[in-house]
Amino acid sequence: MRVLVVDDEPALADQIRRVLLSEGRVVDVVHDGVEAAYLGAVESYDAIVLDIGLPGRDGLSVLKEWRTQGIATPVLILTARDGWSQRVDGLDAGADDYLTKPFHMPELSARIRAMLRRRAGQASPVFEKDGVAFDSRTNRTMVDGLPVELTAQETAVLGYLFHHAGRLVSRTELSEHIYPHDSDPDSNTIAVFVTRLRKKLGAGLIQTVRGAGYMIGEP
């Protein structure tokens, strides 16, 4: 899961980055609106954390621009201005959620998880399919009620496929959302992760469409 964090305060942006990294997410950080608008438009993110009071360009206008460009990535707005008017303005600009500074980090994590889940059409934080249960809160996986040890990359691949269940996900897409955008992974490593996952979780969960990609569930 790849998250863009936009905040002009480096210390706060770094704190957010550390928390998200610890949850196995890929995190890009930018500090101004102009760069944020560009990255958000050209890169494919699963979620964006966007501060409103940004130098260069204000967050709301960046968000509006993304939405007019048809970019539907879930956006969590972060702001020091805690009025309800601003919250409605944020919602009207296309935000999915709103968090007021100062906030509790676990609250931020929970909001991002909830946004991702809602986008996946999933009400419960636990994804279940063919006896495999994936808890998006803890990144723990169980098979038939028994915990299974997965590496961080395996968890990331499984989490991404669960969040896009019913849709064919290409290897390129998977690697984009699992590795930072400055690294250059071999797409064959994705195939290796999937093979290991099928071994650990059973062959039935993840279907392979030869030459196209992977999918959990039915289209």
Partner 1 sequence: MRSLRHRTLINAVAAAALSVAVVSIALFAYIDAVTLKRFDRVLEDRHTQLVVVLSDDAQDPAALEKGLIDPAYQRPYSGRYWQVKAPDGTVYTSPSLFGATLVAPMPPTDRLGRWTGPSPNGGQLRGMQQRITLGNGSVWTVTVAETLTSLLAERYETRKSLLIAFGIVAAFGLLSAWLQVAVVLRPLGRLREEVATRWDRGARLDPNDYPSEVAPLVSDIDVLLARNRETVARARRQASDLAHALKTPAAIVRNELVTLQEHGRDVGPALEALGRLDAQLRRSLARMSAIHSAEGVGGPIHVAPTLDRLSRLFGAMCARQGKTLEVANAPDLQVWMDRQDLEEVLGNLLDNALKWGRTTIRLSAISEPGGAVLCVEDDGAGIPEAERARVLESGARLDVSVAGTGLGLAIVSDLVSAYGGRLELSTSVRLGGLIAAVHLPHHAGLLAG
Nearer to partner 1, 50 or 174 (CB): 50
Q: Is 109 in the site for partner 1 (CB under 8 A)?
A: no
Residues in contact with partner 1, shown as a per-residue x/- string from 41 to 60 under the rule CB under 8 A: ------------x-------
Pairing of strands 47-51, 2-6: parallel
Torsion of CA 148, 153, 158, 162, to 10 degrees: 130
Q: Is 9 in the site for partner 1 (CB under 8 A)?
A: yes
Q: Is 101 in the site for partner 1 (CB under 8 A)?
A: yes
Q: Is 105 in the site for partner 1 (CB under 8 A)?
A: yes
Beta bridge partners of 140: 135
- DSSP run (H or E) holding 118: helix 105-119
**Cβ-based burial of 124 (10 A; exposed 0-12, middle 13-18, buried ≥19):** exposed
Q: Is 121 in the site for partner 1 (CB under 8 A)?
A: no
Q: Is 176 in the site for partner 1 (CB under 8 A)?
A: no
Q: Is 85 in the site for partner 1 (CB under 8 A)?
A: yes
Nearer to partner 1, 99 or 169 (CB): 99
Dihedral sign, CA of 97, 59, 46, 141?
Answer: negative
Q: Is 107 in the site for partner 1 (CB under 8 A)?
A: no
Nearest to 159 by CA among 146, 145, 178: 178
Q: Is 104 in the site for partner 1 (CB under 8 A)?
A: yes
Which residue in 58, 82, 128, 144 binds partner 1 (CB under 8 A)?
A: 82
Q: Is 139 in the site for partner 1 (CB under 8 A)?
A: no
**Size of interface with partner 1, in residues (CB under 8 A):** 23
Q: Identify whether the C-beta of residue 165 lies closer than 8 Å to the C-beta of residue 217.
A: yes
**Segment near partner 1 (CB under 8 A); pick from 56-64, 75-83, 140-148, 178-186:** 75-83
The conformation of residue 36, written as its DSSP 8-state character, comes to: H
b/e string for 193-202 if b means 16 or more Cβ within 10 A? Answer: bbeebbebbe
Report the number of secondary-structure helices (H) and strands (E) in the chain.
8, 11
Which residue in 34, 41, 72, 80 binds partner 1 (CB under 8 A)?
A: 80
CB of 28 to partner 1, least distance (A): 19
Residues that bind partner 1 (CB under 8 A): 9, 11-12, 15, 53, 80-85, 87-88, 91-92, 100-105, 114, 118
